[in-house]
Every structure is written in structure tokens, then in C-alpha cells.
Chain A
Amino acid sequence: MNPTETTLTELRDAIAGKAVSSAEATRAYLDRIEAHDCGDSGLNAYHEVFTERAMARAQAVDKGDVTGPLAGVPIAIKDLLCTDYGHTTCCSKMLENFKAPYTATAVQRLEDAGAVILGKTNMDEFAMGSSTENSAFVTTRNPWDRDRVPGGSSGGSASAMSADLCAASIGSDTGGSIRQPAALCGVVGMKPTYGRISRYGLIAFASSLDQIGPFTRTVGDTALLLKVMMGHDPLDSTSANVPVPDDIDRVDEAPKGLRIGIAREYMSDSNDPAVAAATQKAIEVYRDFGAQIVEVDLPHTEYGIPVYYIVATAEASSNLARYDGVHYGHRTDKAEDLIDLYCRSRSEGFGDEVKRRIMLGTYALSSGYYDAYYSRALKVRRLIKNDFDSAFEKCDAILCPTTTGPAFKIGELADDPLAMYMNDVYTVNSNLAGNAGISLPGGTATVDGKALPVGVQLLGPSFEESKLLKIARIFEAATDHYTLRPTL
């Protein structure tokens, strides 16, 4: 078998059955990274690769010293998850040399399950962006067309998964940062319910929205990773104390009496024809399966982006106040006094998008504007949540596009923040409401003679990931989109 052309689950089983060693598999992925990721025209999905550590871990698995449900499988993680090895940079100059003193719970659970961590993936600085162009270090390319973005902010993880530079990868989703790049790179990407996976060791952007989740080739692989990573963590008081259902990885058990909701707010005329066709095809798949297709209303959908850019920036302005050049992170060498040290260190360490968001959030929270912006945004957030609550009384999941179109060109939206923000128009509301969402490969659009992936999204009620995965599996099983791979 070729260990880089399997699913995570198949590779796990092959390693467990000694059909392939973890060392062989890990070496194969490292070779692929060497061949396709590096250099100016490389994908640049990784920011740091742990070659020696990964090989040592793989050999420990092969010797039987490390066991578990993920024993020996190579996984990549977004560079905002702390690891007590290597660097954790958030792809910011501010944290360029930062070495975390502890490991994030989500990563620790992967390690405890036997996973081999291959490296840290590139991202928009502090997860602020939708293209990975805001990385302070390098721009990640989309494996389907290297002149295009992989989406963001978890663009490195999405690109790596799409190009088989890992067996699975981990990202974080604050407004769509897993699902949007998953759609643009043609892989499965899931944001579980807020609180399902501990945020301990996840460098904070917007704490009431941030959620960790996986990128995989298949729905079953996503279930496998969720089973390992989900669950209460005493180190994160906002991690939900809700049991993880035993059947979460039994994705082939299709639910009975299925009702799929369609919201016209997501079926805009401005959707790319390939996106509209993919969603339509998915409706047919569910109808053929015997599901009832019901119309639902999400009337406040269009207010999601405005709410998000107040709530997320307000929280970011507070979370990023800690980068002061004193205890860790970049420090200017020109400071005259302490205030000057803060200001210069932050201005030298942060990129423009981070500065814009700190200023916007500070503005929204500042005296005289708090009620008009922040307080109003929180009220509209409630209306968005109420929309979902009503919709989920009528259906088990809402089917919609993940994005309005396929990947755009590198540089195309780079200096137009508002246009960039609109990328999250179909993903951001489930972050605001806190529910679960998954993006599935929905086929391809043809642009300039090249096939570019588009995504189909399913949104489900909070804490019902198990059912959502089973529903997602129905679409996956009826299509072959997930088997499509880019030619490198």
C-alpha cells in the first residue's frame, strides 16, 4: 500500500496490522513534504516540520512502546496550538521565537492516542484572515491551483490535507477558518460545537467563538479524531461537560426519519453556479435517500458578518493585550520607557490585519460607542441563535453551501478587508450561535481551465455531532467527490 494515498482510518488499521510500519508511513509523508511543500513554488503548507521527533515517535510505535487508537498515524497541527517542543508562532513576528512551556489539551490527546505529530502548519497571523496571506512568514498555495489561496485562516492545514502531506490535520474555526479552507481545498473540515474540544493551549483570538476541529479525507476519519479530542477538560472552564456519545464513530448508521432543512438565505443568486449545483445535488442525494426536505428560515443570516466583526474584534483586542514585549514575544530594541516599549513592540510585532482588528475592537468597546456597537451586536447575536433554535425544531440538519465560490487568486483581495470578510458569510453564524458545522467536498468548478473544489455544508444543533456525521456520511457515500485529489 501507499501510506500517503489512504484514509486515516485505513492507515491506522494498516499500521496496527503491520501491513506498513509507522516509520515507513511517516518517512513517506516527510518525503512528500520535502518534494512538494518547500521552495518558492512549493505549497508552503508547513511552517515547521518535526522530522527527527516524528521519526522517533514512529519508531516507538513500531516497537510497541506507544499504542492507542491513532498509533503511528502522521498528523499536522495549526501553528496556534501550543506544543512543548518546536515553536508555536501563530505565524506572527510577535511569536516568531516563542517556545510554549506546555502542550495544548487537544494535541496532548492526539499524542496520548499514539499520533505522530509531523509539524506545525501555516496560518493567517493570529487566525485573522480567510486566505492565509496574512501569515508573517509565507503564503500557502492551493494544491489545485498554485496561483490561488487555500482559504484561511487554517489554510496550511487544509492545503496539507488536500495534497496528502499528512494523514489528517488540525485547525481552528472562529468564523469559518476550518470549513472555508476545507471547501476551497476539497477536503472534509469540521467545527464541532463550541466547547466540545478544550481550548487549553489554543492561542486565543476570540474566546467565545474559537473552536478546534479536524481536516480529513473522509467523514469517518473526522469521527475518529473527534472521538479522541472531544470531551471535558478541567483546564478549560468553557469546555462543555457533555458526554461524548459512544456511537460517534459509527458514521454508517444512517438516522431514520431524517429531515434536511434548506434556508433560502443561503441560496443566494450570487453563489457561483458550481456551488449552487453542488448544493442542489446534495438536496437530491438526501431526497433519494428518503429524507424529508423542509424549508427553514434564518432571517438574520445577513447580520452575521457585522456582528462577528464587532464580537470577534472586541474579544481579540482584549486577548491580544497580553503581547506587551515584557514576558515573552517580540520586544523592540528602541524603547524609551515602559509605554513606549509596549507600543513599539506591538507595532513591530503585529501585521496590518491584526492591527486593524485590535483598533476596530477597541473602538467598539470604547466609551461612547459600547452601546451602539458591542451591546447591539450581542443582541443581534441572540437573534441569530434564536433563528437556529427555531430551524432545528423543524429539521435535523441545515444543508447549505460553505462558501459562495471556489478559491480566489493570491493577492486578489489582499488590501480589501471587507471583501475578504465576506468569505465567511455562510460559516460565521454557527460560530456566533455555537452549533456544529461540517464542510464536505462537493465537486469542482472549472475556472480558467482548472478544476477547483467547492464545498457543501451541513449545520447541526449543538452537541449533536454524532448525528451530523451520520448525515454527512450519507452524502459522502452517494458521491465520489471525496476521492478527488489535486495533481501535484
Chain B
Amino acid sequence: MSKSQTITEADVRHVAKLGRLRVSDDEVHHFTEQLAAVLEYISKLNELDVEGVEPMAHPLELVNVLRPDVERPGMATESALVNAPAKMPPYFKVPKVLGDGSGA
């Protein structure tokens, strides 16, 4: 997290890809500048010695919760499909996953 590790345009392209976002060259440039400024501020955390501190992922002491194994109605197919961008009831419809079919 030192200054030399400030986020680069290549990093931004990489995380955009991981996050399934398309970003134009202009956007990459702009986002890199903004994220670098935020990360530089975040690097303040390096001032602290956190050796031996237990990480805190959640405010509550959580235990796994199971509901009683009792049959109950689920969401109806029609309800699940109400917001579908494309559908062929009872299915959601999506583009071909395997390209144009000429080879997969």
C-alpha cells in the first residue's frame, strides 16, 4: 500500500473485468485518478500496528440459523418471471452462451 503501489490504469482495467464492467479509455483514465486518490487516503491505515488484532467482519456474534424443516409455499413461477428482461415461461431467456454454434 505504499505510494509506488497506487492503482494503475492496468489495475483498473483488470478490476473492471473482474467486476463485469465495460469501461472506455476515457473512463479508465478518470477512474484511475479518482481511485488513486481514495487509495492514497486509505493508505492511512498503514500508520497503525494491527499485529494480533482480531478482524471484525460483523457487528454481531452470529451463529448459523436454521429454520424448522416445515413445508411452505415458495415464490410462484409467474412472480419470479415478472421482472425478467426476456422470458419463455416457465424459463428465463438469455442469449446463446456458446457463440454462433459454429464451434464450442
Interface residues of A (CB under 8 A from B): 97-99, 101-102, 194-195, 208, 234, 237-238, 240, 300, 302-303, 305-307, 309-310, 317, 321, 324-331, 335-344, 346-347, 350, 355-356, 358-360, 362-363, 366, 372-373, 375-383, 385, 417-418, 421, 432-434, 462
Q: Is the CB of B58 within 8 A of A208?
A: yes
Q: Is the CB of A382 within 8 A of B94?
A: no
Q: Is the CB of B45 within 8 A of A376?
A: yes
CB distance from A438 to the nearest CB of B (A): 17
Q: Is the CB of A306 within 8 A of B41?
A: yes
Instruction: Give Cα distance in the complex from A462 to B60, angstroms.
Output: 10
CB-defined contacts of A417 to chain B, threshold 8 Å: 34, 37-38
Q: Is the CB of B20 within 8 A of A346?
A: yes
Q: Is the CB of B34 within 8 A of A356?
A: yes
Q: Is the CB of A373 within 8 A of B1?
A: yes
Instruction: Give Cα distance in the complex from A385 to B84, angstroms.
Output: 42
Q: Is the CB of A101 within 8 A of B50?
A: no
Interface residues of B (CB under 8 A from A): 1, 7, 11-12, 14-16, 18-23, 31, 34-35, 37-39, 41-46, 48, 50, 53-60, 62, 65, 67, 75, 79-80, 82-86, 92, 94-99
- Which B residue's beta carbon lies closest to that of A307? B45
CB-defined contacts of B38 to chain A, threshold 8 Å: 309, 360, 417-418, 421
| A379 contact from B12, B15, B44, B55, Cβ within 8 A | B55
Could you list some 11 contacts between A and B, CB below 8 A? Answer: A208-B59, A327-B92, A337-B96, A346-B20, A347-B21, A360-B39, A366-B18, A373-B1, A376-B45, A381-B55, A383-B50
Q: Is the CB of A336 within 8 A of B95?
A: yes
Assuming the contacts A306-B41, A362-B18, A380-B48, asked whether A327 and B58 have C-beta atoms less than 8 A apart, the reply is no
Q: Is the CB of A359 within 8 A of B59?
A: no
Q: Is the CB of B20 within 8 A of A324?
A: yes
Interface centre among B19, B21, B94 (most CB of A within 10 A): B19
Q: Is the CB of A303 within 8 A of B34?
A: no
Q: Is the CB of A379 within 8 A of B54?
A: yes
Q: Is the CB of A359 within 8 A of B31?
A: yes
CB distance from B3 to the nearest CB of A (A): 13
| A418 contact from B20, B41, B84, Cβ within 8 A | B41
Q: Is the CB of B60 within 8 A of A240?
A: yes
Instruction: Give Cα distance in the complex from A417 to B41, angstroms.
Output: 12
- Which B residue's beta carbon lies closest to that of A385? B56
Q: Is the CB of A362 within 8 A of B19?
A: yes
Instruction: Give Cα distance in the complex from A342 to B45, angstroms.
Output: 34
Instruction: Give Cα distance in the complex from A102 to B45, angstroms.
Output: 41
